Amino acid sequence: MVPILHLLVLCFLQVASQIVSRRRVLHLKKKQSRKRLFFCGIINDMSVSFIVFYFFVCGLIIGSFLNVVVYRLREQETLLGRSFCRSCQHQIRWYDNIPLISFLILGGKCRDCRAAFSWQYPILELVTALCFAFIGQYFFQWDRPETWLETGFLVGITSLLLVIAAYDLIHMEIPITILMIGFGWTVLFLLLDMQDFRFFLWDRQVQALLGALVVGALFFALVFISHETWMGWGDVWLGALAGLIVGLSGALFMMTLSFGSGALVGILLMILNKKNMKSQIPFAPYLVLGTLLTLFLPHMFPEYIARMLL
């Protein structure tokens, strides 16, 4: 009896160990593939976040240059010279000229004379960097060269629009040179984007042209009726450019966001007693905000906004 029992126990142990080992092998295999997937995911995530980070840093550097454009365009200075403190005329050292970081380290003051620098510098740098990071995240794909053209266009037009917004905010005027470069840049992109020379395939180009005409005509009417009290002639041209960029399908969305944000800030300023009904509020920043949001939002929330626009 004892040997039989012994044999049975042995058999049981054998079968049990086989089951366990097979399970372990299966488990290990699963774990390995999961591990591989996990690492692939990490590498993929890493390359995406590296691209976004890279775009962010480029945005900081370009934003720093845009500040120079906003300031020197007014004074008709060269864009190439080294920057200097407006108060003590000292040249700014290279290590005090690192976008955003230097401003934070120095507390927004000149190292030599402690004169305060404008908040415009870090804000424009940060906004440019965030816009570039968005473009890197939602438009640029390293392995798909067909996305590169649009990425290049967006990086350029965003920079130009941000200069126009900052310039209008500071000087209450729309810089016509930058506006014309914006038109040239957008038309160049639309021409390069033409995949076919058959007319019925020029959907985007026709949309853009109609958008520019409709928004331009509407703003023209507003300026004409209000005798330039609601907005200026510069806004008409900027409106046409915005229409050209977002196209007819995005025009209504763009105008809603622009007028909506403008009205909201206007009401807030009135409540805070900073402005009254008659004081001039620059409109370009809101128009630029509306245009950029119309470009970015459908890519950030494709299931909601893209469907709304089509």
Residue 110 near Zn ion by CB under 5 A: yes
Considering the rule CB under 5 A, would residue 150 count as an interface residue with Zn ion? no
Name the one range near Zn ion by CB under 5 A: 68-76, 105-113, 203-211, 212-220: 105-113
Q: Quick check: 85 binds Zn ion (CB under 5 A)?
A: yes
Judged by CB under 5 A, does residue 98 bind Zn ion?
no
DSSP bridge partners of 109: 116
**DSSP secondary structure string for all residues of 168-193:** HHHHSS--HHHHHHHHHHHHHHHHHT
Q: Which residues pair with 91 in a beta bridge?
A: 84
Q: CB of residue 116 vs Zn ion: minimum separation in angstroms?
A: 10
Bridge partners (DSSP) of residue 269 are none
Burial 93-125 (b: 16+ CB within 10 A, else e): eeebeebbebbeeeeeebeeeeeebeeebbebb
Residue 39, class by beta-carbon neighbours within 10 Å (0-12 exposed, 13-18 middle, 19+ buried)? exposed
Smaller CB distance to Zn ion: residue 112 or 193? 112
Per rule CB under 5 A, is residue 112 in the interface with Zn ion? yes
Encoded one letter per residue, x for contact with Zn ion by CB under 5 A and - for no contact, window 215-254 reads: ----------------------------------------
By rule CB under 5 A, what count of residues binds Zn ion? 7
Among residues 73, 83, 87, 183, the one that binds Zn ion under rule CB under 5 A? 87
205 lies in the binding site for Zn ion (CB under 5 A): no
Q: State yes or no: residue 88 binds Zn ion (CB under 5 A).
A: yes
d(CA 128, CA 123): 8
113 binds Zn ion (CB under 5 A): yes
